[in-house]
Structure 1
Amino acid sequence: MAPKVLIVLTSQNVIPNTDHQTGWYLPEFAHPWKILHDAGVELTVASPKGGEAPLDPASVEMFKQDEIAVNFHKNQEPLWKNTVRLADIVPRAKEFDAIFYVGGHGPMFDLVSDPISLSLIQTFASAKKPVSAVCHGPIVFVNATTPSGEPLLRDATVTGFSNVEEDQAQLTKLMPFLLEDRLKAIPGTKYVKADQPWGEKVVVDKTYQLGGVLITGQNPASATGVGKELLKALGL
């Protein structure tokens, strides 16, 4: 039987108090989706509000030379136009073998504190099922806890979008906080990043709090690597 992976997208379409459009980031869905889909993994796409999950238009423009991203954008629109509401996933959580969060700036505003998302992360992690995220996606873990109330990421090794990259993207002032700073603020958490901004960095931690597999990727360049590590974690 094919493994099942839950892919979670943001529902946040604008940065609060601005007219700056945001959402999920095209290559960070496109590349892992292709790897998982081509390996025969069954994929379900969800978001906090359900329905259409907003694609960050800047990512379409930025990756118009990326063949995988372009083909995905052109041919797979129903995946993000018709997402399942996260609340409707809760009763079905046991069906899935892993959870993956796509990045983009949107998760910094909704998924970071979404109670249903946090409960799902705890459910997957407690069952020792792989939990994974890329770029800004790892922000979904900063408020996650173990059943005993400990920070899920305590003593974990993780990566995610760096402060330097946020500065270079010229969006630091629009963020409620910086992802790197929030990860580093969790007791014992070790934040690591690529030698150069925008370089690939994927971290697999099998010793974090609940003893499952925690997979994080730093930036868009790390999306393919996260997809490959997720496949490995599923035994494929």
Structure 2
Amino acid sequence: MKELLLIVTNVAMYASGRLKTGLWLSELTHIYHSAKEKGWGITIASPKGGKVPIDPESLKPLVLDKISRDYYENPAFMDELNHSGSLEAVKNDAFDCVYLAGGHATMYDFPDDATLQAIISNQYGKGKMVAAICHGVGGLLNVKLPDGEYLIRGKSMTGFDWFEEAIARRKREVPFNLEAAIKERGADLKKAFIPMTSNVVVDGNLITGQNPFSSKEMAKVVIRELEKQYY
């Protein structure tokens, strides 16, 4: 029996106020579904708790896969999602994996959240798994270890890159360049050979996925790596 903490955003709009954003649904549903199939414990939490907006782009027919659509149409799941716990409420709980789901919205409420940073630093410091996908990796940017170094310094990892941001037509909307920020903190950014294709990078207890198209593989890798671990 494993326990997973799935962290999601509370932000619904870009700072410009022109476009809606939120959680990228598949980046939550695939890991949620895989963990449920195993009978593992799942806690969904967000910086503020409560409602979790979903990015409308992630609900479009071309990207909404069957698993994500089924969960979106499942009232029980949507109720759980919209009654997420707060990070403050779960910060002292024990988890086998802390997983940061993405969506552009996470660029606003993940990077500077002190409680999120403490949860991740504590999790990683105990030798337990930290995972993040797409823009969710922004939540790793400012996490420091007890020695004062950035957690991601010297680590192999991935995340939504700047070229993909251009493809998504969001370069003028996002609050910062995620690819540049990852590199500035001394991480070794590994990109998919073809943009917008699945890419998952494992570096010890740190697992990262590049983009929404990595959701399925990310879930498989996290489950596989968790099954190797015994505490």
Check conservation: 2:7, 2:46, Cα contact below 8 A. yes
Q: How does 1:192-231 map to 2 (within 5 A)?
A: 192-206=190-204, 213-231=205-223
| Structure 2 CA distance for aligned equivalents of residues 131 and 117 of structure 1 | 12
The residue number in structure 1 matching 2:21 is: 22
Superposition RMSD on alpha carbons, in Å?
1.3
| Structure 2 CA distance for aligned equivalents of residues 155 and 60 of structure 1 | 36
CA deviation map 1:70-92 (0-9, x unaligned): 10111121221110011011132
| Structure 1 CA distance for aligned equivalents of residues 181 and 212 of structure 2 | 20
The residue number in structure 2 matching 1:234 is: 226
Q: Which amino acid aligns with 1:140?
A: G
Check conservation: 2:58, 2:64, Cα contact below 8 A. no
Q: How does 1:1-236 map to 2 (within 5 A)?
A: 2-63=1-62, 65-75=64-74, 76-92=77-93, 94=94, 96-187=95-186, 189-206=187-204, 213-235=205-227
| Structure 1 CA distance for aligned equivalents of residues 217 and 209 of structure 2 | 8
Q: Among the aligned pairs, what percent are the same residue?
A: 32
Check conservation: 1:27, 1:63, Cα contact below 8 A. no
Deviation at 1:62, TM superposition (A): 4.8
Q: Which amino acid aligns with 2:78?
A: E
| Structure 1 CA distance for aligned equivalents of residues 80 and 59 of structure 2 | 16
Deviation at 1:65, TM superposition (A): 5.0
Q: Secondary structure at the match of 2:132?
A: strand
Check conservation: 1:63, 1:70, Cα contact below 8 A. no
CA deviation map 1:102-129 (0-9, x unaligned): 0100110111111100010001000111
TM-aligned CA distance change 1:62 to 1:192, over 3 Å? farther
Check conservation: 2:200, 2:214, Cα contact below 8 A. yes
| Structure 2 CA distance for aligned equivalents of residues 146 and 221 of structure 1 | 30
TM-aligned CA distance change 1:4 to 1:170, over 3 Å? same
Check conservation: 1:53, 1:83, Cα contact below 8 A. yes
TM-score by length of 2: 0.94
| Structure 1 CA distance for aligned equivalents of residues 163 and 61 of structure 2 | 18
TM-score by length of 1: 0.92
CA deviation map 1:17-68 (0-9, x unaligned): 3231111101111111111111111100000110111111221125565111
| Structure 1 CA distance for aligned equivalents of residues 8 and 121 of structure 2 | 18
Deviation at 1:230, TM superposition (A): 1.2
Q: Secondary structure at the match of 1:136?
A: helix
TM-aligned CA distance change 1:10 to 1:163, over 3 Å? same
Check conservation: 1:56, 1:104, Cα contact below 8 A. yes
Q: Please identify runs of 4+ aligned residues in structure 1 that moved more than 2 A.
A: 62-65
Q: Which runs of 5 or more residues in structure 1 are unaligned?
A: 207-212
Check conservation: 1:35, 1:224, Cα contact below 8 A. no
Q: Which runs of 5 or more residues in structure 2 are unaligned?
A: none
| Structure 2 CA distance for aligned equivalents of residues 62 and 151 of structure 1 | 39
Deviates more, 1:164-173 or 1:16-25: 16-25
